Every structure is written in structure tokens, then in C-alpha cells.
Amino acid sequence: MSNELIPQNSTTAAIVPYDFDAVASGDDSFLSRLQLYGSKSDAVAESKIAMGHYGIVTDGDITDVGEDVDAIVVDWRAKALQIDGENIIDEHNPKSETYKQIKALSEVKDSGCMHGPEFLLWIPSQNRFVTYFMSSKTARRESRKVLPFLRKAVTLKCKLIVTAKYKWHGPVVIACSTPLDTPDPELLEKIIESFKNPPKSDVEVVPEDESTRVR
């Protein structure tokens, strides 16, 4: 017997009501995102969420879901993101020039560029799907522990990392010991299909001059 909560070839399991946000949007581009908030976060400084907590961001609003989050890892995809003022470039093909350029620029301080695996999660306690973009160096290292839990349950925790010069918060991934309900099978199929087939970016990144890059 497989211990997958959402089998690769079957979605039959305990059913909970539809994720309203996903139904209302009709695709994954409007899914809420899960984010870990460290001490340097503006949202923490503005008392919108506690330090070291995970938050679900929907249309700019943050729902504090605490230090520990139980979730099912539904799927994953590659992602490179550049935020430059009002312009956002979102690329999911690691072989594309745009992806490669954003990945290279992510090493440049304040470039607004980041890359890494993006996971589709189902969070039963919130009755919703979310995306979790593990784009920092710390998160990318920990993401290797997420992949083995594909279609299984995990608990996301937070740890304070301390070095001689810096302190920051990073994610920790462990197996979930709590039984979790799974989403409606029909909705699950639609969300996975949309997540795995995102719109192709028609915008190219203009590389910065080599002299501006961090050595």
C-alpha cells in the first residue's frame, strides 16, 4: 500500500469543501502564496505578522498561520521571478534564456530577481491551495527535503540561523504526524493542470552590465 495521501494516479480520499479562491479565479495564477516572515520583513516591522511565522498572502492581505504549518505537497515546478517596479517577469522554463538571465541576476544585490522550486501545497486548516516559492539560498537547500514528500504530508517549521555576522530565519521541513484531509478530487485535477501549464512569458530580461554584478 502506498502512503501517499494523494496517489499519483488517483485522487480518491477524504473530501473537504472547495477552495473558494481557486474556484473564483479559475486558474492557479490567483492562488494565495505561503511565505515565511523573518525579522527583516516589512510586514513584521509593521506588526502585520509575528516574526518567524508563516503567512498566507492573498491580494496583499496576510493571514498569520503560525510557526508550524501542516500541508500536503501536491506538485512542483521551476520558477524564476524578476520584480522591477511595476513590471513582473515570471518564467518557468529552466532552459529558456529569460530563466537563465534571471537566475544569474539573482546574485546581484537588490536586483529584484530570484529563482528556485515552487511547490503547490494544500493546507487543510485553511481549506485552500497555496504556492510556496523557495527562492532564497537557505530555502533552496531545504527544498531538497520537500521533493520526497510529493503527494504526502509535511510540517513546515521555522528556525533561526545564526552565523558570526548575521541572523535570519529559514524553513525546516519534516514529515507530518497529523492525519490530514485531502481536497475535492475534481478541483484538485483542475489546479494541478493549471499549475503544471502556466502561461509562457513573452517578456525578455535585459542583462545588467557585468560591472554591476556582485563578485
User: pLDDT per residue over 138-189, tens digit each?
Assistant: 999 999 999 999 999 999 999 998 888 888 899 999 999 999 999 999 999 9
18 vs 130: which has the higher pLDDT:
130
Number of domains in the chain: 1
- In-domain check, residue 165: yes
Confidence of residue 12 (pLDDT cuts 50, 70, 90): very low
CA dist 45 → 37, 40, 48, 51 (Å): 10, 7, 8, 9
Asked if the structure places residue 146 within a domain, the reply is yes
Please check whether residue 189 lies inside any domain of the structure.
Answer: yes
Ranking 29-38, 93-102, 117-126 by mean pLDDT, the lowest is 29-38
**205, part of any domain:** no
Report if residue 4 sits inside a domain.
Answer: no
521571478: which residue's cell?
Answer: 81
Q: Find the range with the poorest average confidence among 59-68, 136-145, 195-204.
A: 195-204
38 found inside a domain: yes
Provide the β-strand partners of residue 77. 118
Range of the domain at 102: 20-197
Share of the chain above pLDDT 90, in %: 66
Question: Which pLDDT belongs to residue 165?
Answer: 87
User: Residue 209 — very low, low, confident or very high, per pLDDT cuts 50/70/90?
Assistant: very low
More confident residue, 131 or 60: 131
Q: Is 207 inside a domain boundary?
A: no
- 8 belongs to a structural domain: no
Q: pTM value?
A: 0.82
DSSP letters, 87-102, are EEEEE--TTSHHHHHH
pLDDT of residue 180: 94
